[in-house]
Amino acid sequence: MSVMTRINRLREGMSGLGLGAFLISQPESRRYLSGFTGHDHPPMDSAGYLLITETKLLLLTDGRTTEQAENEAPDHEVIQILEKLPVTLSEILSSLKPSRVAFEGNHLSFRLHEEVRGALRNNSVLVPTYDVVDAMRAVKEPEELEAIEAAAMLADKAFTHLLGIITPGMTEREAAWEMEAFMRKHGSEGLAFDTIIASGPNSSKPHHTPGDRPLQSGEPIIVDWGARVNGYCSDITRTIVLGEADKKFKTLYRVVLEAQTRAEERIRAGILGSKADGLARKVIEAVGFGAQFAHGLGHGVGLAIHESPRLGKKSEDVLEDGMVFSVEPGVYLPGWGGIRIEDLVTLQGGRVSVLSRAPKQIESMEV
């Protein structure tokens, strides 16, 4: 689907909400609505902002990225910010004078909001929005799904590569690098996120950073990784054991796998993210480990590694056909370790279709 089709859908939404202009600062939304891939360190360093009105499509950027912006965003008029964003913005809006200018409340910094408000004086009201572009991005177009499938397939191949070389004594960092180098050499643009290899007691930390700890036989090893293709991410987790797993591990592994299987079989289009979360959580709570599953069941994946919808205890997001999200129950016991199994899935025809194919059955968990 072209950028213009997305813009037209957004404009319809803006019209319905009485929004005369929309300032987009979130990098992935900016790319989604323009094609511009500029790199930045938001919220302080931004490579550019979109300003979308009924009649204008502007990409405001600084001198370092104007040429790139012109090449990548041919539908937009590229305007170089010579002073600061608020000044440029007020100059542009001084003739249009839209009564309501929308911005992304999750993304604009306190400072920029204050400065833009000051620059617009009382000509326009700034209106925070929270899920306008995010909701559009949550439901994937066929081309987006293709890119995510390619990213999932590349991640699967990296896991096969890891299984061929992983061995006791290799450090977490070395194993993570093997995964990364494989994906990067085979077409991943950077990574979806920093690969996690968490071994033994480290595996009870869901967001562990791989370090110099050597992998040991018999302990849980959580591998959480993803590739990026055409800007789109994949996100998968497996937990493995080198050699033989003990009884405690096997028992817990079965619980987590059962929780995931239950959710993947029973999630339907139309249910809330909280209900999806509950399908898996119930299985883990039933064996007394509810408190040890200290995160949500999943999150949307697309241009951003974390996006809409959310699958968690309190999520009111409605799951819809075309959405892509993770299903990743886990159990973490500080001192002992953890187990997490994460699939990347999409809702198609009302049901879950699993995109990640890396083996996860109890028989394949011992490496």
The residue ranges that bind a second copy (CB under 8 A) are 37-39, 41-45, 47, 62-65, 67-68, 103, 105-111, 113-114, 128, 130, 177, 180-181, 184-185, 190, 193-194, 204-209, 294-295, 304-306, 334
Compute the CA torsion angle 352, 346, 108, 47 (nearest 10 deg).
170
Select 42 or 359, whichever has its Cβ closest to a second copy.
Answer: 42
Select 53 or 202, whichever has its Cβ closest to a second copy.
Answer: 202
- Provide, rounded to whole angstroms, the least separation between the CB of residue 114 and a second copy: 8
Say how many Å lie between the first and final Cα of the chain, rounded.
43
- Provide, rounded to whole angstroms, the least separation between the CB of residue 264 and a second copy: 22
* Cα atoms in the 13 Å half-sphere on the side-chain side of 46: 25
- Provide, rounded to whole angstroms, the least separation between the CB of residue 62 and a second copy: 8
Select 185 or 247, whichever has its Cβ closest to a second copy.
Answer: 185
Residue position matching structure tokens 């929004």: 19
Integer angstrom CA distances of residue 29 from 25, 109, 248, 272? 8, 16, 44, 24
User: CB atoms < 10 A from the CB of 244, how many?
Assistant: 10
Select 127 or 272, whichever has its Cβ closest to a second copy.
Answer: 127
Select 205 or 351, whichever has its Cβ closest to a second copy.
Answer: 205
Select 278 or 347, whichever has its Cβ closest to a second copy.
Answer: 278
- Provide, rounded to whole angstroms, the least separation between the CB of residue 26 and a second copy: 8
Tokens found for residue 101: 């200018």
HEC string of 271-299 equals: CEHHHHHHHHHHHHHHCCCHHHCCCCCEE
173 CB burial (10 A radius; 0-12, 13-18, 19+): middle
- Provide, rounded to whole angstroms, the least separation between the CB of residue 318 and a second copy: 20
Select 7 or 137, whichever has its Cβ closest to a second copy.
Answer: 137
Which distant-in-sequence residues (6+ apart) come within 8 Å of 129 by Cβ? 17, 19, 22, 102, 103, 104, 105
Select 178 or 343, whichever has its Cβ closest to a second copy.
Answer: 178
Interatomic CA distance for residues 12 and 197, integer angstroms: 45
φ, ψ (nearest 5 deg) of residue 217: -65, 145
Which distant-in-sequence residues (6+ apart) come within 8 Å of 43 by Cβ? 25, 107, 108, 109, 112
Integer angstrom CA distances of residue 331 from 190, 259, 281, 361? 29, 11, 10, 17
Nearest to 301 by CA among 226, 359, 360: 226
- Provide, rounded to whole angstroms, the least separation between the CB of residue 5 and a second copy: 25
Quick one: DSSP state of residue 304? S
Select 39 or 121, whichever has its Cβ closest to a second copy.
Answer: 39
- Provide, rounded to whole angstroms, the least separation between the CB of residue 8 and a second copy: 27
Residue position matching structure tokens 């909280």: 274
- Provide, rounded to whole angstroms, the least separation between the CB of residue 350 and a second copy: 29
- Provide, rounded to whole angstroms, the least separation between the CB of residue 362 and a second copy: 25
